[in-house]
A and B are shown apart, each in its own frame.
Chain A
């Protein structure tokens, strides 16, 4: 993958709003954002209601994903262009999720909803409906998904990238600062994980930095290109943003997103945890 195949600009999007075979999808936790105005023709996916199992902590299964995309009118051959708020966190999460279930052509709108709004581009409240399809998903591609045992095994041997804010990494905060901080799990990070906040990869308008800038950021942070990589955050959406940067923009191989992330790891009994600003010992 590369920037040209994984990312589209707002200008490209604006020119392709009515192109057959291109489906714009807004992904937000807060679906009122979509309801208050969305890119013309875009449909919405709710990252939690649509993409999470309602009972267990896991994703919807292959059959449920097929049914969801079929009902929303997304076909296997469609180019899916994802965008959303929160600097595309949830859109990047959905991108990774579409890849997990084997969708062929999926792209992220650079800058997401924020750049679109800051550029004063058109938003509409028109209802969008698409004819149903018969979508066929693959089994999950587990080469891009890490589980807790993978993370424990990676301590001191693989690249672990903690993409939360420096204060979350150090254990001074337990959640992003727009959320209440009372949590049951322990603060800190996985020992030997390097701290590269997802925000390092983005400009203030939400667009991604250039490939050269991105390569420099991860090289200076100590990411070893020769090793496998696991990215994590709190619940796996900010780390999808970094997974996207490393695998889809920079073309690193063997990058996994740990969707359990700190809400799982920080609640495990008996695993090592490091506090403070340094990675710590393996």
Chain B
């Protein structure tokens, strides 16, 4: 039996998904935060569940990317960044499919 006791810190967001992760079993929400043409690094992206309850948060990578491993269903991706308004994006996630979200701040 393997039990992952690695932390809850956000993995490198632009890194390739590790080979041990079976994407067919995962429900991935992935996206990019941009301001105009520029990617926004270090923005805080929050994943809220169907009731609006907080589920997870990651900072965006140097290339503005973020990624969540969620469950099938309806989610809201909320983005916070310095000197920018909060932006919400609704997304429907499915198992075995990477749901892509583009966020413009």
Contacts and interface: CB of A to CB of B under 8 A. Distances in A.
Interface of A: 28-30, 33, 47-48, 57, 85-87, 89-90, 114, 117-120, 165-167, 172-173, 175-185, 197, 199, 204-205, 234-235, 237-238, 263-264, 267
Contact of B67 (A28, A29, A178, A235): A178
B96 interface: no
A165 B55 contact: yes
Q: Which 5 A-B pairs have the closest CB atoms?
A: A29-B9, A199-B54, A29-B7, A177-B56, A165-B55
B9 A28 contact: yes
Contact of A181 (B7, B46, B69): B69
A267 B5 CA distance: 12
Is the interface on chain B under 10, 10 to 19, 20 to 34, or 35 or more residues? Answer: 35 or more
Given A167-B71, A181-B26, A199-B53, A118 B8 contact: no
Given A165-B56, A167-B55, A267-B3, A238 B8 contact: yes
Given A120-B83, A184-B2, A237-B8, 18 more contacts: A29-B8, A85-B59, A89-B8, A117-B82, A118-B81, A120-B82, A165-B54, A165-B55, A167-B55, A175-B4, A177-B68, A177-B70, A178-B10, A179-B69, A182-B22, A183-B4, A204-B80, A267-B3
Nearest to A238: B8
Nearest to A261: B5
B53 A197 contact: yes
A177 B47 contact: yes
Interface centre among B4, B8, B10, B17 (most CB of A within 10 A): B8
Contacts of A29: 6-9
B68 to A, nearest CB: 4
Contacts of A176: 8, 55-56
A90 B47 contact: no
Contacts of B8: 29, 86, 89, 175-176, 178-179, 234-235, 237-238
